[in-house]
């Protein structure tokens, strides 16, 4: 089944909690991520079918909340993103890794969805703004050609002022993969 997500970023934690309540009461959606992120923002991701996600976002926007910074809907989101938000990853014995870092969590998720749909890669880490100063970063792994393709496609969808940095590491050291907790088979 194809799933969609609605993303809401707010600059008030109290308002964020209230928005989540409105979204959950308005539609049959699953709260995936509803937490404060750095610096003092609140980030909401709900999941469901496209109609439910649209209804939930409409409920969030209904009162013209002055604390809402940004919203996005991603129809047909890659399932690995939903699993990563739930802290479920596939560990990898990687030949290459690609890292993308954005200053907007929502932009990072859009870029990640593009990476996963366009490159033969596996998502091995996703950070949604907590303990990172509000930044998002993700790490994908795979063959070098797949990692390059995934990162190149992501860079095409990230707004220039939202991209902080990206790196492709062709042959990461095993100790690096261990310390990042993204290696299996050891």
pLDDT tens-digit readout, 37-96: 888 889 999 999 999 999 999 999 987 789 999 999 999 999 989 988 888 876 666 689
CATH number for the region 79-179 comes to 3.30.70.1710
pTM: 0.82
Whether the per-residue pLDDT at 185 is higher than 50: the answer is no
Residues of the chain with CATH 3.30.70.1710: 4-74, 79-179
Q: Tell me which CATH homologous superfamily contains domain 4-74.
A: BMC (bacterial microcompartment) domain (3.30.70.1710)
The mean-pLDDT minimum among 39-48, 162-171, 176-185 falls in 176-185
Please give the Cα distance from 100 to 78 (Å, whole number). Answer: 17
Please give the Cα distance from 29 to 180 (Å, whole number). Answer: 32
Closest C-alpha among 111, 115, 121 to residue 146? 121
| pLDDT above 90 coverage of the chain, percent | 68
The mean-pLDDT minimum among 91-95, 96-100, 109-113 falls in 91-95
Confidence of residue 186 (pLDDT cuts 50, 70, 90): very low
Whether the per-residue pLDDT at 149 is higher than 60: the answer is yes
* Residue-by-residue DSSP string for 85-148: HTT----B--SEEEEEEES-HHHHHHHHHHHHHHSS-EEEEEEESTTTTT-EEEEEEE-HHHHH
């Amino acid at each position: 089944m194809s799933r969609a997500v609605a993303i809401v970023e707010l600059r008030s934690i109290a308002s964020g909690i209230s928005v989540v309540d409105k979204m959950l009461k308005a539609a049959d959606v699953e709260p995936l991520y509803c937490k404060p992120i750095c610096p003092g923002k609140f980030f909401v991701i709900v999941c469901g079918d496209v109609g439910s996600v649209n209804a939930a976002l409409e409920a969030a926007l209904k009162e013209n909340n002055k604390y809402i910074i940004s919203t996005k809907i991603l129809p047909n989101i890659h399932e690995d993103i939903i699993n990563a938000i739930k802290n479920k990853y596939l560990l990898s014995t990687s030949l290459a890794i690609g890292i993308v870092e954005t200053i907007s969590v929502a932009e990072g998720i859009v870029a990640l969805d593009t990476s996963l749909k366009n490159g033969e890669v596996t998502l091995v880490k996703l950070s949604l703004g907590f303990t990172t100063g509000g930044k998002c970063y993700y790490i994908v792994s795979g063959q070098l050609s797949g990692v390059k393709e995934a990162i190149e496609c992501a860079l095409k969808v990230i707004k220039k002022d939202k991209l902080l940095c990206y790196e492709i590491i062709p042959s990461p050291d095993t100790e690096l993969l261990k310390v990042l907790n993204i290696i299996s088979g050891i």
